[in-house]
Amino acid sequence: MGPFAYDFMQRALIAAVLVGVTAPAVGTYLVQRRLSLIGDGIGHIALTGVALGFLLGTAPVLTAVVVATLGAIAVELIMAHGRARGDVALALLFYGGIAAGVLLISLSPDGNSSTLLAYLFGSLTSVSAADVAVIAVLTVVVLGVTLGLRRQLFAVSSDPEYARVAGLKVQLLTITLAVLTAVTVTMAMRVVGVLMISALMVVPVATAEQLATSFKATWFGAVGIGVFVSIVGLVGSFYLDVPSGPTIVVSAIALFVLIAVVTAGRRVIRRRVSSVSTT
């Protein structure tokens, strides 16, 4: 009997594919802005939202979306108007988010170590039909915004000063991208985990950049790679009986290394052929 004969694996597959599409779609712009690690910081803030949900007896994903969104907006405003540098703002998210999350989950009567691990690293069995529905709706929203504002987001991510001179509302666009990042992080918690989602935002993009020659090709390539490694990692986690998040990330990194080795080998061969032809 194959893994997708089980209902929970069918739900997990749908969720994994949706997350595999959405994470690199947003991550392409983050990499372009040189903010590859912001997903990690927002993930830590999302953990605080999850813990707050358990403490208040509300839906953890809902509170995670709210808290992560507020944290993402805060870090953008700090970087734009505060005295703290971008790396300092990210550090505040990293340390404050994880510390507050662990503290609140410890105070919650419904929180325990297994619950925390499920949100940190992902859990196949925790993906419900309601989770799939929420992820599907958020995927449509995120993709709609990233595709609808693709020219503006590209301009802001590539050259903010030029975008400002061109009349674009740079601050509003960067906040929009931060909110999209927060939504993507929280929607991926069940499948990848808050500590792993940043890798799914960045590694497929880095892999696609080795093959693509344009931003558009990188975007589509990263999305395709994200879907591929999500499915491979999902199946691998089922057979190995390990959390889905780390398995998906290891699959993504393995593909990155493979592509890097192949492309490096091709460059070496080209140089040798070129040197031979010139002599």
Task: Go through the domains of the chain in sequence order and give each one's CATH number.
Answer: 3-278 (1.10.3470.10)
Residue numbers of the chain with a pLDDT score lower than 70: 1, 81-87, 89-90, 109-116, 124-125, 275-279
Question: Which pLDDT score is estimated for 116?
Answer: 67
CB 224 within 8 A of CB 239: no
pTM value is 0.85
What are the backbone angles phi and psi of residue 162, rounded to the nearest 5°? -65, -40
CB 209 within 8 A of CB 224: no
CA-nearest of 12, 14, 11, 27 to 200 is: 27
CB 187 within 8 A of CB 132: no
Question: Which pLDDT score is estimated for 18?
Answer: 93
Question: Which pLDDT score is estimated for 85?
Answer: 59
Residues 240-262: pLDDT tens digits?
Answer: 888 888 899 999 999 999 999 99
What are the backbone angles phi and psi of residue 47, rounded to the nearest 5°? -60, -40
Question: Which pLDDT score is estimated for 19?
Answer: 92
Helix (H) or strand (E) holding 169: none
Residues 47-71: pLDDT tens digits?
Answer: 888 888 888 877 777 888 888 888 8
Structure tokens at 76: 């953008």
The CA distance from 118 to 243, in Å, is 8
CA angle centred on 21, ends 17 and 24, rounded to 5°: 135
CA-nearest of 180, 182, 161, 181 to 170 is: 161
Cα dihedral 51/35/24/105 (nearest 10): -10
Q: Tell which phi-psi region holds residue 214, choosing left (phi > 0), alpha (psi between -120 and 50) or beta.
A: beta
Judging by beta carbons within 10 Å of its beta carbon (0-12, 13-18, 19+), is residue 275 exposed, middle or buried?
A: exposed
Question: Which pLDDT score is estimated for 190?
Answer: 75
Residue type, 108: S
Question: Which pLDDT score is estimated for 87?
Answer: 64
The CA distance from 189 to 140, in Å, is 17
CA-nearest of 200, 187, 166, 153 to 29 is: 153
Residues 141-170: pLDDT tens digits?
Answer: 999 999 998 899 999 888 888 888 888 888
Question: Which pLDDT score is estimated for 204?
Answer: 95
